[in-house]
Amino acid sequence: MIFKHQKMIFIGARLIYLYQHNTAQQKLNHKSMNCKKLITGFIISILLTGSIMAQTGYQPAEKNLQNREWFQDAKFGLFIHWGLYCQMAGGGDQGIAEWIMNQKKIPIAQYEKLTNFFNPTSFNPAEWVSMVKKAGMKYITITSKHHEGFAMYDSKVSDYNVVKRTPYGKDIIKQLKDECDKQGIKLFFYYSQLDWHHPDYFPRGNTGQGFTGRPEKGDWNKYIDYMNAQLAELLTNYGEVGGIWFDGMWDKWDAPWRLDETYSLIHKLQPGALVGSNHHKFPFPGEDFQMYERDLPGENSMGFNHMGAISDLPLEMCETMNGSWGFNLADNNYKSVKQLIQTLIKSSGYGANFLLNTGPMPNGKIQPENVDTLMAMGKWLDKYGETIYGTRKGPIKPTNWGASTQKDGKVWLHVLNFGEENLFIGKLPAKLKSARFFDDQSTLKFKETELGIILNIPDSKKKPIDTIIQLEY
């Protein structure tokens, strides 16, 4: 019901937007047919969305609702992109990593040779999970299968997997899950719906076509059966799973994904598992969280986060440490610790989690640069985590100078960029009683004006990353 209601409001808003947008255009060029076509097209696409792509009538289980709260409290997780592609290390091209098969048009018969070399003898799950804990992260999301189609676990429905086809021969997912359980870290599985390897992913989508060597025929339904069988394995053989992180629907929008079946299957096997999909659209029924790729909620610097609408579901933003998801040898464009902490803070200010990525190397080690960054972030969180973990978005929306968070009646302003000593923060929901610096609890001067509050922050109190001010009202 809630979903339907939200969706109707959203559809209404979109239609009004489309209508207004087009009315303005009409005045200019009198192409009134465009408007009608656009709206009809939109209504048809919504009807399709409603009937095909949804787990209609989905009611999250109690456990699922609890996990959503846990998820929102957790705030910070590690994204891991690991697959055969790590061995190509981007091939010297800064912009490619896990996309190398498609970008360099490597046929399956040749790409499969990579299985013969995959032998990450230095992979030590205990080290990975300890690092995650030290970084202040509460969960991990790892690629169980990326677009290349290779499973990083022991799949019975395809031998194109790490156990059957590599000299390493051990189940990566199993080892990591056991260690996560030991150290109290939740594990989510990324799963690519798009597949450049499976012959039945046909008719092909926007990618993976022409070069792979697959016959120009296939049975789409068989592919969906296969995908659901792989998901069932992931949700049956590895204990309690945090959730499933889908990616790749955008490759083939018009395909009958049978999402209702897939989402129902997941929720039946593990009612507590959170389902999310990186389709860059407003969440469909059956999804438990909404995600943003390399953009804060509502922003669209990447060009594909068009649906700016933010749902009431828990939110998550994912980001790379350099510009690559998978290991890339040439990409030294690392974001600074300051930049990443500030993004974490801004995410928190939107009530969103921050899922920060690393692409492990072929030997199983995490890039030392990434370890250093994570350790520095963990140090900051040791000191200031109280203002991040367990919080929800605060009264002041993230803006260029900062963000706000709140928890248990406490409200924190995070000032990330400074102009003058006096900072105008706008209006608060109630009259401000006091404002103190989080660091030393000393009070600061403020003035309440008609338009809102002005805080006085002396230079001596300014911190390079985040100056935290606790508000009481």
Q: Binding residues for ligand H79, how many (CB under 6 A)?
A: 10
Instruction: Pick from 96, 135, 137, 366 the residue near ligand H79 by CB under 6 A.
Output: 96
- The whole-angstrom separation of Cα 407 and Cα 429 is 15
* SS3 labels along the chain: CHHHHHHHHHHHHHHHHHHHHHHHHHHHHCCHHHHHHHHHHHHHHHHHHHHHCCCCCCCCCHHHHHHHHHHHHHCEEEEECCCHHHHHHHHHCCCCCCCHHHHCCCCHHHHHHHHHHCCCCCCCHHHHHHHHHHCCCCEEEEEEECCCCCECCCCCCCCCEHHHHCCCCCCHHHHHHHHHHHHCCEEEEEEECCCCCCCCCCCCCCCCCCCCCCCCCCCHHHHHHHHHHHHHHHHHCCCCCCEEEEECHHHCCCCCCCHHHHHHHHHHHCCCCEEEECCCCCCCCCCCCEEEECCCCCCCCCCCCCCCCCCCCCEEEEECCCCCCCCCCCCCCCCCHHHHHHHHHHHHHCCEEEEEEECCCCCCCCCHHHHHHHHHHHHHHHHHHHHCCCCEECCCCCECCEEEEEECCEEEEEECCCCCCEEEEECCCCCCCEEEECCCCCECCEEECCCCEEEECCHHHCCCCCEEEEEEC
Cα dist. 222→145, 203, 208, 226, 274 in Å?
17, 12, 18, 6, 25
Binding mask 245-284 for ligand H79 (x = CB under 6 A): --x------------------------------x------
Q: Closest CB to ligand H79 among 99 and 150?
A: 99
Assess 325 for contact with ligand H79 (CB under 6 A).
Answer: yes
Give the range of 55-63, 97-105, 329-337, 397-405 binding ligand H79 by CB under 6 A: 97-105
**Part of the chain binding ligand H79 (CB under 6 A), chosen from 95-103, 104-112, 338-346, 424-432:** 95-103
User: In the bound complex, what is the minimum distance in angstroms from residue 84's beta carbon to ligand H79?
Assistant: 14
Tell me which of 95, 210, 213, 271 binds ligand H79, using CB under 6 A: 95
Comparing every residue's Cβ against ligand H79, the nearest one is: 99
Burial profile 201-235: b = 16 or more Cβ within 10 angstroms, e = fewer: bbebbebbbeebebeeebebeebbebbbebbbbbb
Q: Which of 87, 94, 103, 130 binds ligand H79 (CB under 6 A)?
A: 103
The residue (of 111 and 325) whose beta carbon lies closer to ligand H79 is 325
Complete edge-to-edge strand list for the sheet that includes strand 422-426: 422-426, 453-456, 446-448
Is 99 near ligand H79 (CB under 6 A)? yes
93 touching ligand H79, by CB under 6 A: no
Among the residue ranges 94-102, 220-228, 347-355, 358-366, the one whose residues contact ligand H79 (CB under 6 A): 94-102
| Using rule CB under 6 A, residue 240 touches ligand H79 | no
Q: Which stretch binds ligand H79 (CB under 6 A): 90-98, 307-315, 415-423, 461-469?
A: 90-98
The one segment of 18-26, 98-106, 332-340, 428-436 that binds ligand H79 by CB under 6 A:
98-106
Which of these, 465, 419, 428, lies nearest to 446 by C-alpha position?
Answer: 428
Least distance CB 318 / ligand H79 (angstroms): 6
Residue 103 vs 175, nearer CB to ligand H79: 103
- Which span sits near ligand H79 by CB under 6 A: 96-104, 263-271, 419-427, 429-437? 96-104
Encoded one letter per residue, x for contact with ligand H79 by CB under 6 A and - for no contact, window 410-449 reads: ----------------------------------------
Min dist CB 333 to ligand H79, Å, is 13
- Minimum CB separation from ligand H79 for residue 190, in Å? 7
Could you tell me if residue 90 is left (phi over 0), alpha (psi between -120 and 50 degrees) or otherwise beta?
left
Rounded least distance, CB 151 to ligand H79, Å: 15
* 293 makes contact with ligand H79 (CB under 6 A): yes
Check binding of 94 to ligand H79 (CB under 6 A).
Answer: no
Of the pair 278, 348, the CB lying nearest ligand H79 is at: 278
| 98 near ligand H79, rule: CB under 6 A | yes
- By CB under 6 A, is residue 308 in contact with ligand H79? no
The distance of closest approach from Cβ of residue 272 to ligand H79 in the complex, given in angstroms and rounded to an integer, is 23
| Nearer to ligand H79 among residue 250 and residue 401 (C-beta) | 250
Binding status of residue 331 toward ligand H79 by CB under 6 A: no
Judged by CB under 6 A, the stretch of 69-77, 92-100, 224-232, 327-335 that binds ligand H79 is 92-100
Nearer to ligand H79, 22 or 343 (CB): 343
Chain contacts with ligand H79 (rule: CB under 6 A) = 95-96, 98-99, 103, 247, 278, 293, 318, 325
